[in-house]
Amino acid sequence: MSTSADGPRPLPTAESAREAIETESIATPRRGPFRGLRGRWNELSRPMQWAWMLPVVAIAYALPYLDFFPISTSDAGTSWSIALFSMAVYALVAVGLNVVVGYAGLLDLGYVAFFAVGQYTAAIFTSPDSPYLKIPYLWTLPAAMVIAMIFGVTLGVPTLRLRGDYLAIVTLGFGEIVRILATIIPAMKGQVGFQNVGRPPGETANGVPIFATSNGGPWYWLTLTVLIIVLLLVGNLERSRVGRAFIAIREDEDAAETMGVPTFKYKVWAFAIGASVGGLSGALMAGQIGFVNNQKFDVQTSILFLAAVVLGGTGNKVGAILGGAIVAYIPLRFTWIADFKYLIFGIILVILMIYRPQGLIPAKMRLMAYSRKAIEWIAPPKPPKAEPPRTPKPRTEGGAS
């Protein structure tokens, strides 16, 4: 026999929802080493958060001049500015993959294919080894985004009806298909590749190109500027209706579809947006290296991109930046472990999944950052009611009170 009362239960009102959130926030304190800092940050207004971010951005732009022990990679044989550029590119890749994996909850094991599309786009349109149309290098950045987006839609339309492991296998196969096509199609030149890929214009007073392959500082500043712009766009996406649809699909796709969310359309959008960022990062990498062939687009690289997102914190764009920077920095700083980087990152991920499965910087558990303020606006907290003054009871004739 059921102990609950028969009949339908009333829907919660805005006031009861506000009380539930307050009770939950008091009963379940935030976990993590930065819970106090995170709470104070969330309490700041948006202008104050921007004011605190300006010094961080200034330090990021000044990093090429902070070439000293123990953070420098110069002692390990890699230029510090080149290492910073690699960290920025990996961070940009992780931000794009985070849209697919972190926001929409779609496991993509072939993200390196979009990275390859971006590199080949820059090489085909700028390298003298290519017989096709030549355009300025900076024009290849939006071209790489558009072409990679087309590839993302082409992959997503026939495959995004699948879920889970089946989708992961299909995306893994897509990454291998792109690598094999780059090997067997004569126009892609296989292992020979394209040399002298274009670069942005500009020369110093001595006639040396500003964006030379050996000068990582300008490349780092260009990539950092692109990364900041992408972060602003992704942040607006996260707070938009599309971002809320992504999160609803990630949490429960069936429930989202039942509530009227066109899940297939938004999943294709997630693939297209993530692919465009991957193509952009590939074009930047091709310009700095100046050489593109089919040797860097294997499964291991794609898994390394996914490890950056999981390590930093799935669903958090700041965590994706941190994860991408760590994945790129560690093999360059400690060259003696470069040959074992996949083993080491695998062990790190296993330990992370045991002790901190949400990543280094976890995503917010609330669907919207302003949900608490919205509930307070709908049902503002009521002031405590004043108790009426007590009046003494009259005595009876028997003397009893």
Tokens standing for 231?
A: 């972060």
Give the list of residues 6+ apart from residue 216 with CB closer than 8 angstroms, or none: 64, 79, 80, 81, 82, 83, 84, 85, 288
Give the DSSP letter string of 165-203.
Answer: HHHHHHHHHHHHHHHHHHHH-GGGTTTT-EES------B
Tokens standing for 96?
A: 């794009």
Tokens standing for 295?
A: 């040797």
pLDDT at 330: 86
pLDDT at 1: 46
pLDDT at 281: 95
Hey, is 151 helix, strand or coil?
helix
pLDDT at 396: 59
Regions in the chain scoring below 70 on pLDDT:
1-39, 41-42, 364-401
Are 108 and 171 contacting, i.e. CB atoms less than 8 angstroms apart? yes
CA distance 117 to 22: 48
CA distance 110 to 168: 8
Give residue-wise pLDDT tens across range 11-32. 455 555 555 544 444 444 445 5
pLDDT at 363: 73
pLDDT at 126: 92
Radius of gyration of the chain (CA): 27
State the maximum Cα–Cα separation within the chain, in Å, rounded to a whole number. Answer: 116
pLDDT at 45: 73
Distance of CA 225 to the CA centre of its chain: 16
Task: Provide the whole-model pTM.
Answer: 0.80
